[in-house]
Copies of this chain bind each other. A is one copy, B any other.
Amino acid sequence: MKKTTIVLHSGDSDKLMSALIIGNGALAMGGEASIYFTFWGLNRLKKGMLAKGPLSKMNLVGLGAWAMRMRMKQKNVASPERLLNDFKVLGGRILACEMTMEIMGIKKEDLREDLVDEWGAVGMYINDSQDAGLTLFI
Contact = CB atoms under 8 A, between A and B. Distances in A.
B129 A57 contact: no
B71 A25 contact: no
A100 to B, nearest CB: 10
A77 interface: yes
This chain's copy number in the assembly: 3
A137 to B, nearest CB: 4
Contacts of A2: 129-130
Interface in A1-23: 1-2, 4, 6-7, 9-12, 14-15, 18, 21-22
Contact of A77 (B18, B43, B68, B102): B102
Interface in A31-50: 31, 38-40, 43
Given A14-B9, A15-B9, A123-B29, A60 B40 contact: yes
Contact of A25 (B11, B21, B122): B122
A96 to B, nearest CB: 15
Given A12-B57, A43-B61, A102-B75, A1 B130 contact: yes
A14 B4 CA distance: 23
Interface in A90-138: 99, 102-105, 121-123, 125-127, 129-130, 132-138
